[in-house]
Structure 1
Amino acid sequence: MTLPISKLKIEIDRRQSLPIYLQICDRFRTAIASGHLRPGDRVPALRGLATQLNTARGTVELAYTILVDQGYLQMRGAAGTFVSPSLPASVMQASPGQVLRERQGPLRNEATGTPTTPDASRGAQPATRQLAIAVAMSGEPRPLQPGLPALDAFPSKVWNRLVAQRARSGERAMLAYPDPAGYRPLREHIATYLGLSRGVTCLPEQVFITGGYRATLELVLRSLARPDDRMWFEDPGYLLARGFLAETGVQLVPVPVDGEGIVVERGTQLDPQARFALVTPSHQSPLGHTLSLARRLALLDWAEKASGWIIEDDYDSEFRYAGRPLPALKSLDRRDRVIYCGTFSKVMFPGLRLAYAVVPERAVERVGRVAHSMNAGSPSIWQAAVADFIRQGHFARHLRRMRALYAERRMLIVRALEQAFGERLMVDLPPGGIQFAVRFAEGPGGPADDVAVASRAREAGLGVLPLSIWYANDRTRHTPRGLVMGFANIADAGEAGRLARTLRACLDG
């Protein structure tokens, strides 16, 4: 029997420092744990609960997204949202106190201050990181959203024409199952492009097309990883990759980052026998540093000695505003230990859901076998249209235009931030990319709570993310506090000023 919605009492306390969306999550978890909500029960609609709580619909939507991703709720389209019917008994028997402890995070050893749980490397609250992932992957673009290219400047007419031509062609290959390794002409174009622009010498057979960066990581790990393999992971490191890798069983080894990129020497001290290292050498995510030549050589030397694999995430290196784009780490790889990963999400648009991996020749057969077993080929019509986009010169022209446009737009927001914040915000502008991190200056009461600032910014409709949650342990006193933001979609100085003033208001509370 379904519990009537009217009997569910959700209350929030606006005096608490805990953001409203997390309070909503807590109330639902407590109701489920105490038996007030049972598997299969329908929960209030987004609009109805937002009205009841007198809060923004987006706040409730973010809370529901977190609960769905964690398995507590299920969305069934027009039928509504329900408590998951497959919740384990352990969740149903949890006490409210246990739910509270889960939100507060791992208990700490009073003598050392370190977490007492085995998951000590993951300091951030899972709900906070899950929310950040939901925002970063949101289908509705938000101002200042990291990683989002200029959607207003994409040559949509050209793209639509190419897609329409492919759709009208009647090619049977466009209607059949796609090749799991990728559309052959696109693989050829990618191999040529990488050789010219990134210094990566490869054969089309080494290029595998995937449905996005997550799909690339899944393909690589299913092909090459063993149970309980350990992976060096930049600290701070790419949020979306951290969330996915935590689900795969790979044990992450956080390795600190400084102005020269990942500290390879520290990695060898922490775990010299790790089998993988995931790095963003051209534009470190999120700090923007470039991996120095000495560190690149040291990393390659480690991979050779440990018989390990380096996964190079080259997500937005095409956009560099001082000099030519730097050669990829893969261009220095003489021992065939680097797996190069690229994406069309930043250079074209994320809704395309196309990425690629260049795998070492020794791994082509294994990766190809797994790709066919996954049967995860991307739609041929999109791949063919991208191949046409590259072949006809539109891709190169688009990149040239975007480099000039992004150089202008990033300076618009930098000047606006400096005017709005003054000395309260420190901007260390990287030489490339379509996003950057800023840090809050420490005031008399300590550093600003960037999670709370980002939460207020989301309430205001902005897409910035808190910097601290990109770190493995975001709760220490010395973890930098700030924001990660994109700038590619800022139209003019007026909009930049408005956004900067809105952010300043979010800092002031």
Structure 2
Amino acid sequence: MADLSFQLDAKLEEPLYIQIYQRFVSAIRNKHLSASQRVPSIRSLASELNISRGTVELAYQILINEGLFEAKGSAGTFISSKVGELITIQLSNLPTQQKNNIPQSIEINPLQLGTPALDAFPLSLWNKLSAQTMKRQNTQDLNMQSPQGDEDLRQSLVGYLAIARGIQCSAEQVFITSGYRASLFLISACLLQKGDQGWFENPGYFIARQFLKHLGMQLTHIPVDQEGICVAQGKVFAPQAKFVVVTPTHQSPLNVTLSLERRIELLKWAIQAQAWIIEDDYDSEFYYQGRIQPTLKSLDHKQRVIYCGTFSKTLFPSLRLSYIVVPSTHVQEFQNIAKILGSFPAHLPQKITHQFICEGHFARHLRKMRNLYRTRRQYLIMAIEQELSGILEITKHTGGMHIVATLLISLPVGEFISRLRIIGIEIQSMDHWYAELSLENHVLLGFTNIATAEMASDLCQQIKKAVFS
């Protein structure tokens, strides 16, 4: 261990698991560690560094995924026999100015929100489809493509949405965008004007709130209860609003589901007010019991709903592909504005995504991830109940990618989060999801990257230690 120079610094920008990863890569590169050499166990290294085993486990998993480590069961973990070749390849692919500073592979802290389980993504399959798609490219593919998005991908989405979300639409109603904010920008450019008033959930997705305000929209913040957005209060606070942004399946961030009664009430209001409903269905695929409520779009018989979906949660964030389904009455207007904006996503990722869907991989991947998240969610719930029963109380819901919990102790939420951040654990306060100063004592914990029950338990033990230190 002396050769590794393991001196971690919690004040650095890099998370602790990234620092561990970097130390190992540096030690291998400088020949302080050699091929087939055994490395410390997760337990012993965590004990020596006085950090959670989950943090070490995450670093080891990255090194295994990159082929630098080999896990050999009870025999232990070893430096790969091909480590020399791998390090050479890594270094040769780096820009010159970075060769003495190995960059972070990923930036995922334990319990971080919003990031799918990238360790479970079928990367080799995706790479295979990418290679096949590139081989099929012709000179036509090199030209400018439709600002509406790849027609094959849009047709694939029509089939998927009909089966999975009950939405009946045509390919011409589907527009591919480069992310949720790009979707909001296109919708605003087509249907809204600067200064328009709209309802926004409170608490609600703060990035969307900031973006819409940047576009000049006047937002009225409508409370959310256990049935979702309070439509009756919206009609009192801003009866003449031109639009509403809602997350009906798993409200962001409370995870409550908009009740059927509220859905019908919201649709009736939109029809009467001639307002638009922007339905953000960002993670509806991840539900763990019971039946999922129908989308607002599937109940929309008067064409007042614009449906927004994304691949950031179902596939991976850097793909930068989202999509919207617009009313058939406004397709031409959306086509015209999309052409003017010219900010449509790259052609090749769309083609690969189409292949992933049409060959059945997408449906299989979603089933796999739903089962995986159900298990990982349970890992974290059980660990919190066993280790943190007097510190956190869980609010249980049937879906989503994070857990909402109430902080039971007198420690301020900000101080609680700061203490965890020092040891590399990243959870969020509910505070900045509110439009105004809030005294909420709720916190949000992501579970998608909790690989094992042991990892969940270790993280909770580390939280307990940080609280009472």
TM-score norm. by structure 2 comes to 0.76
Is 2:285 the counterpart of 1:325?
Answer: no
1:504 and 1:216 mapped to 2: Cα distance?
A: 41
Q: Deviations over 1:139-188 (max 9, x none)?
A: 61222111111101111111000011112223234433232110001001
Is 2:426 the counterpart of 1:463?
Answer: yes
Q: Does structure 2 conserve the Cα–Cα contact (< 8 Å) formed by 1:189 and 1:391?
A: yes
CA, structure 1 residues 458+200, in 2 after alignment: closer, same or farther (shift >3 Å)?
same
Q: What is residue 500 of structure 1 aligned with on the other side?
A: 460
- Seq. identity, %: 44
Match runs of 1:375-414 below 5 Å = 375-414=342-381
Is 2:139 the counterpart of 1:172?
Answer: yes
CA, structure 1 residues 442+235, in 2 after alignment: closer, same or farther (shift >3 Å)?
farther
Q: What is residue 248 of structure 2 aligned with on the other side?
A: 281
Q: 1:473 aligns with which of 409, 430, 436?
A: 436
Is 2:404 the counterpart of 1:441?
Answer: no
SS at match of 2:371: helix
CA, structure 1 residues 55+154, in 2 after alignment: closer, same or farther (shift >3 Å)?
closer
Q: Does structure 2 conserve the Cα–Cα contact (< 8 Å) formed by 1:450 and 1:468?
A: no
1:234 and 1:418 mapped to 2: Cα distance?
A: 30
Q: Deviations over 1:433-489 (max 9, x none)?
A: 11122111254xxxx4223322332332223111121111234xxx32121121111
CA, structure 1 residues 508+209, in 2 after alignment: closer, same or farther (shift >3 Å)?
farther
1:59 and 1:354 mapped to 2: Cα distance?
A: 28
Shift of 1:221: 0.7
SS at match of 2:390: helix
Q: What is residue 310 of structure 1 aligned with on the other side?
A: 277
1:332 and 1:504 mapped to 2: Cα distance?
A: 46
Q: Deviations over 1:332-375 (max 9, x none)?
A: 11110000000001111111110000011122111111111111
2:155 and 2:392 mapped to 1: Cα distance?
A: 46
User: What amino acid maps onto 1:221 in structure 2?
Assistant: S
Shift of 1:498: 1.6
Q: 1:230 aligns with which of 164, 173, 197?
A: 197
Match runs of 1:77-476 below 5 Å = 140-441=107-408, 443=410, 448-475=411-438
1:270 and 1:504 mapped to 2: Cα distance?
A: 43
2:214 and 2:240 mapped to 1: Cα distance?
A: 21
Q: What is residue 58 of structure 1 aligned with on the other side?
A: 13
Shift of 1:241: 1.0
SS at match of 1:423: coil
Q: Does structure 1 conserve the Cα–Cα contact (< 8 Å) formed by 2:305 and 2:327?
A: yes
Q: Does structure 2 conserve the Cα–Cα contact (< 8 Å) formed by 1:197 and 1:325?
A: no
Q: Does structure 2 conserve the Cα–Cα contact (< 8 Å) formed by 1:173 and 1:380?
A: no
1:370 and 1:458 mapped to 2: Cα distance?
A: 43
1:310 and 1:242 mapped to 2: Cα distance?
A: 15
Q: 2:447 aligns with which of 473, 479, 487?
A: 487
Q: Deviations over 1:392-420 (max 9, x none)?
A: 00000001111111111000001111222
CA, structure 1 residues 410+386, in 2 after alignment: closer, same or farther (shift >3 Å)?
same
Shift of 1:506: 4.2
1:171 and 1:486 mapped to 2: Cα distance?
A: 42
Q: What is residue 124 of structure 1 aligned with on the other side?
A: none
1:358 and 1:231 mapped to 2: Cα distance?
A: 20
Shift of 1:508: 4.1
Shift of 1:313: 0.4
2:468 and 2:327 mapped to 1: Cα distance?
A: 51
Shift of 1:299: 0.4
2:205 and 2:135 mapped to 1: Cα distance?
A: 40
CA, structure 1 residues 388+147, in 2 after alignment: closer, same or farther (shift >3 Å)?
same
Q: Which moved more, 1:326-335 or 1:292-301?
A: 326-335
2:196 and 2:202 mapped to 1: Cα distance?
A: 18
1:142 and 1:458 mapped to 2: Cα distance?
A: 9
Q: Which moved more, 1:448-457 or 1:382-391?
A: 448-457
User: What amino acid maps onto 2:170 in structure 1?
Assistant: L
Q: What is residue 77 of structure 1 aligned with on the other side?
A: none
Shift of 1:59: 8.2
Q: Does structure 2 conserve the Cα–Cα contact (< 8 Å) formed by 1:466 and 1:483?
A: yes
Q: Does structure 1 conserve the Cα–Cα contact (< 8 Å) formed by 2:176 and 2:322?
A: yes
Q: Does structure 2 conserve the Cα–Cα contact (< 8 Å) formed by 1:437 and 1:484?
A: yes
CA, structure 1 residues 462+198, in 2 after alignment: closer, same or farther (shift >3 Å)?
same
SS at match of 1:364: helix
User: What amino acid maps onto 1:490 in structure 2?
Assistant: I
Q: Does structure 1 conserve the Cα–Cα contact (< 8 Å) formed by 2:377 and 2:447?
A: yes
Alignment RMSD (CA, Å) = 1.9
1:367 and 1:55 mapped to 2: Cα distance?
A: 48
2:298 and 2:200 mapped to 1: Cα distance?
A: 21
Shift of 1:430: 1.2
CA, structure 1 residues 139+307, in 2 after alignment: closer, same or farther (shift >3 Å)?
farther
SS at match of 1:267: helix
How many residue pairs align between the two structures?
Answer: 373
SS at match of 2:249: coil
2:449 and 2:443 mapped to 1: Cα distance?
A: 17
Q: Which runs of 5+ in 2 are unaligned?
A: 1-8, 16-104
Shift of 1:222: 1.2
Q: Deviations over 1:181-211 (max 9, x none)?
A: 1000100111111111101111111100000
CA, structure 1 residues 498+309, in 2 after alignment: closer, same or farther (shift >3 Å)?
same
Q: Does structure 2 conserve the Cα–Cα contact (< 8 Å) formed by 1:416 and 1:500?
A: yes
CA, structure 1 residues 333+508, in 2 after alignment: closer, same or farther (shift >3 Å)?
farther
Shift of 1:224: 1.0
2:284 and 2:179 mapped to 1: Cα distance?
A: 17
CA, structure 1 residues 464+361, in 2 after alignment: closer, same or farther (shift >3 Å)?
same
Q: Does structure 1 conserve the Cα–Cα contact (< 8 Å) formed by 2:401 and 2:446?
A: yes
Q: Which runs of 5+ in 1 are unaligned?
A: 1-53, 61-137
Q: Does structure 1 conserve the Cα–Cα contact (< 8 Å) formed by 2:10 and 2:422?
A: no
2:135 and 2:118 mapped to 1: Cα distance?
A: 26
